[in-house]
C-alpha cells in the first residue's frame, strides 16, 4: 500500500511540474543594465572584418523577463552584425522575444565589415545603435568604428581559379609583381603617405626596378605576406626624423590588424626578402614590427646595403637575418626576437656603429647578436666572414649570454668589437670570448653592466647619465646625429640614442 501511495505522490508532482514552464516571463520594463553604454570597435580597414567585441546585458530584477526586440537601429542595412547568447537572429541584425532570467545576464558579440563610403565623410566614423525594446521602454547602446581607407595590393586570380604566384628562392608562393603602370593604382613602385597600403601575399619588385617608400608611408601586411626584391632590383626607404610619437615622417611596416591587442604580437606577417642578386638598397628611418623575419638579406654587392635610423621589434625569429651579405648599419635598434635580434650567418661583410641590439624574448636560447661563417646544407657549407665590426654599440638582453660566435675554421672569421657594452655572464675558457685580454677582437668592452634603458618592454632604449653606457663611446666612430636626430657630444654615448634626449 505504501508503495502505491509513493507512486501517487510522484505522479502528482510530475503533473503539477509539467503545468509550469521555465519560460514564464514578464515583459521587459526598460530597466536593463549594460557593461558599457558605447562599444568602440577599434579601427579597421575598409571591407576588412573587425575583431569580435562583447556587450554584457544584465537583468537585475527578481522576474524572468522577455525582451520583445533586440536589433540594430539600421536594421538589415546595418554593417554591424551580432550574436545574442549564441543566436544569430535575422542575419545577425534583429532578434525577437529574447528571454533573460532573473538576476542573470546575456552576452552580445558584435562585429563589423564596412566600406569607407559607409562612414561619415568628415570623421570616417561608422556608427549605429543596438536597440532594446521600443516605445517608452527603449534603451540603446551606441556602436562606433573608425573606417580607414587604404590601397589594397594582392595577387590576381587566374582563369582556373588559382592565385597568381611568384618564385622566391626556388619556391612558388602567392604573390604578384608591383606594376608601375597599374590601371587602378598607377605607379605601384612608389609608396606615398596619402593612404596606408595593405598587402596580401608577396609583393615583388621586378628585376631592374626600384621600389621607393616616401616619408610617412604606412604599409600593412596580411598574414603570410611580405615584400620580395628580385635580382637587380632595388629598395629605397626614404623616411625622415619625426617630432612626435606618431612617427609622422617614419616609414612603418607592420601587420594589418589595427586593434591594440595586436600591436606587439610577433609573427603576424612574413618578411622583407632581398634576393642575393638584388642591388643598391638603402633604408633610412624605418620602423618594422611583428614580422616573422624582419629583414632577410642575401645581397652580395660590392657596395654595402645602408641601413640607418631603423627600429625593428617583435619578430618571431629574427630582426635581421643576413646571409653572406654586405651591410653597413648606423643607429639601429632591434628588440624582442625569437632566435636572434641580429644574425649574420654564412659569412659576409658587416659594420655596425651606434647600434642597440637587445633581446627581451622570454627564453634562454635567444641572442641579441649571432655571428657565423657556415650554413648547414649550403654548398659550400662555409663562406668567409670578411669582417664584422661593432663600434660604440650595446649588445644586451634578458638571457645569460647575448653574444654568440659560431666559427668554422674552414673559412675566415674576422670580427672586432670597439667601445661596446656587452652581456656575456658565463665564465668561459673559450679563446673567442676573452673580452678583457683579447685585444685583437675586443677593445674597451664594458661587460655585464645594466645599461639602464628607460623601458625595454615599451622599446624605449634611451639612457641617462647614470647609465654605464653614458659618454663611453669613441669619438673616432661617432655618427653625428642619433636615431631621432639629436646631436651627439664629443664623448658620445653607446648605442643608438644620445642620453640628453628622453622619451615623452
Domain end: 114, 132, 147, which one? 147
Residue 18 lies in a domain: no
195 and 55 together in one domain: no
pLDDT on residue 20: 41
**Digit-coded pLDDT (tens) for 353-367:** 999 999 999 877 899
Terminal-to-terminal C-alpha distance of the chain: 88
pLDDT on residue 396: 98
pLDDT on residue 15: 47
137 and 163 together in one domain: no
pLDDT on residue 302: 85
255 and 181 together in one domain: yes
| Rounded alpha-carbon distances, angstroms, from residue 480 to 333, 380, 476 | 17, 41, 11
pLDDT on residue 91: 95
Domain end: 95, 124, 147, which one? 147
| Global pTM value | 0.88
**Domain, as residue range, for 34:** 26-147
Q: Which residues of the chain have pLDDT under 50?
A: 1, 4-8, 12-21, 504
Residue 496 lies in a domain: no
339 and 416 together in one domain: yes
Collapsed DSSP state (helix, strand, coil) of residue 22: coil
| H/E run at residue 243 | none
pLDDT on residue 428: 76
What's the alpha-carbon Rg for the chain, to the nearest Å? 30
218 and 96 together in one domain: no
Q: Quick one: three-class SS letters along 321-339?
A: EEEEEEEEEEEEEEEEECC
Give the pairing type, strands 165-168 and 171-177: antiparallel
Residue 2 lies in a domain: no
114 and 195 together in one domain: no
Residue 485 lies in a domain: no
366 and 286 together in one domain: yes
pLDDT on residue 3: 52
CA nearest neighbour of 322 among 355, 300, 292: 300
Residue 501 lies in a domain: no
Distance CA 239, CA 241 (A): 7
Considering Cα of 176, then 177, then 178, then 184, what sign does the dihedral take?
A: negative
CATH of the domain at 34: 2.60.40.10
In DSSP terms, 328 is beta-bridged to: 306, 351
Distance CA 11, CA 449 (A): 82
Contact in structure between 414 and 386 (CB atoms under 8 Å)? yes
pLDDT on residue 365: 82
| Rounded alpha-carbon distances, angstroms, from residue 38 to 114, 142, 212 | 18, 5, 42
328 and 268 together in one domain: yes
Residue 15 lies in a domain: no
| Rounded alpha-carbon distances, angstroms, from residue 503 to 453, 463, 500 | 11, 10, 10
177 and 216 together in one domain: yes
**Digit-coded pLDDT (tens) for 278-331:** 999 999 999 999 999 999 999 888 889 999 999 999 999 999 999 999 999 999
Distance CA 452, CA 469 (A): 9
136 and 169 together in one domain: no
pLDDT on residue 23: 53
Work out the burial of residue 454: count CB atoms within 10 Å of its CB; fewer than 13 is exposed, 13-18 middle, 19 or more buried: middle
| H/E run at residue 29 | none
Domain end: 147, 170, 201, which one? 147
Distance CA 319, CA 307 (A): 13
Residue 373 lies in a domain: yes
Domain count of the chain? Answer: 2
Residue 371 lies in a domain: yes
31 and 125 together in one domain: yes
179 and 264 together in one domain: yes
CA nearest neighbour of 334 among 277, 400, 402: 402
Amino acid at each position: 500500500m505504501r508503495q502505491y501511495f509513493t507512486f501517487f505522490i510522484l505522479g502528482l508532482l510530475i503533473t503539477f511540474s509539467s503545468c509550469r514552464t521555465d519560460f514564464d516571463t514578464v515583459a521587459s520594463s526598460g530597466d536593463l543594465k549594460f557593461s558599457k553604454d558605447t562599444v568602440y570597435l577599434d579601427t579597421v580597414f575598409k571591407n576588412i572584418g573587425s575583431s569580435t567585441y562583447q556587450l554584457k546585458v544584465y537583468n537585475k530584477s527578481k522576474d524572468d523577463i522577455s525582451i520583445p526586440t533586440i536589433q540594430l537601429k539600421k536594421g538589415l542595412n546595418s554593417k554591424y552584425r551580432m550574436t545574442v547568447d549564441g543566436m544569430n537572429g535575422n542575419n545577425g541584425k534583429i532578434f525577437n522575444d529574447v528571454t533573460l532570467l532573473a538576476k542573470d545576464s546575456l552576452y552580445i558579440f558584435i562585429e563589423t565589415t564596412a566600406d569607407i563610403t559607409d562612414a561619415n565623410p568628415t570623421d570616417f566614423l561608422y556608427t549605429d545603435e543596438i536597440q532594446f525594446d521600443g516605445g517608452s521602454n527603449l534603451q540603446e547602446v551606441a556602436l562606433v568604428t573608425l573606417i580607414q581607407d587604404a590601397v589594397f595590393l594582392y595577387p590576381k586570380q587566374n582563369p582556373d581559379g588559382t592565385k597568381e604566384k611568384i618564385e622566391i628562392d626556388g619556391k612558388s608562393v602567392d604573390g604578384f609583381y608591383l606594376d608601375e603602370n597599374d590601371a587602378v593604382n598607377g605607379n605601384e613602385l612608389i609608396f606615398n603617405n596619402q593612404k596606408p597600403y595593405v598587402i596580401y601575399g608577396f609583393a615583388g619588385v621586378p628585376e631592374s626596378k626600384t621600389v621607393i617608400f616616401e616619408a610617412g608611408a604606412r604599409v600593412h601586411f596580411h598574414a603570410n605576406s611580405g615584400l620580395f626584391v628580385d635580382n637587380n632590383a632595388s629598395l629605397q626607404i626614404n623616411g625622415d626624423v619625426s617630432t612626435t610619437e606618431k612617427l609622422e615622417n617614419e616609414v612603418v611596416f607592420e601587420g594589418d590588424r589595427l586593434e591594440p591587442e595586436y600591436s606587439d604580437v610577433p609573427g603576424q606577417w612574413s618578411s622583407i626578402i632581398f634576393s642575393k642578386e638584388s642591388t643598391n638598397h638603402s633604408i633610412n628611418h624605418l620602423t618594422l614590427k611583428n614580422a616573422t623575419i624582419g629583414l632577410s638579406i642575401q645581397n652580395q654587392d660590392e657596395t654595402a646595403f645602408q641601413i640607418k635610423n631603423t627600429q625593428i621589434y617583435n619578430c618571431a625569429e629574427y630582426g635581421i637575418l643576413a646571409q653572406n651579405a654586405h651591410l653597413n648599419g648606423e643607429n639601429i635598434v632591434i628588440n624582442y626576437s625569437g632566435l636572434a635580434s641580429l644574425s649574420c650567418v654564412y659569412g659576409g661583410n658587416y659594420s655596425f656603429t651606434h647600434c642597440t641590439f637587445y633581446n627581451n624574448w622570454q627564453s634562454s636560447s635567444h641572442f641579441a647578436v649571432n655571428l657565423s661563417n657556415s650554413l648547414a646544407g649550403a654548398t659550400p657549407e662555409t663562406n668567409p666572414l670578411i669582417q664584422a665590426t661593432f663600434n660604440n654599440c650595446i649588445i644586451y638582453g634578458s638571457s645569460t649570454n647575448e653574444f654568440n660566435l659560431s666559427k668554422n675554421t674552414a673559412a675566415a672569421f674576422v670580427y672586432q668589437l670597439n667601445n661596446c657594452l656587452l652581456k656575456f655572464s658565463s665564465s668561459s675558457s673559450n679563446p673567442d670570448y676573452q673580452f678583457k685580454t683579447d685585444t685583437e677582437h675586443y677593445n674597451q668592452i664594458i661587460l655585464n653592466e645594466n645599461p639602464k634603458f628607460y623601458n625595454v618592454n615599451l622599446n624605449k632604449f634611451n639612457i641617462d647619465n647614470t647609465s654605464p653606457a653614458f659618454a663611453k663611446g669613441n669619438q673616432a666612430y661617432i655618427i653625428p646625429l642619433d636615431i631621432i636626430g639629436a646631436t651627439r657630444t664629443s664623448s658620445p654615448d653607446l648605442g643608438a640614442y644620445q642620453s640628453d634626449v628622453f622619451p615623452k
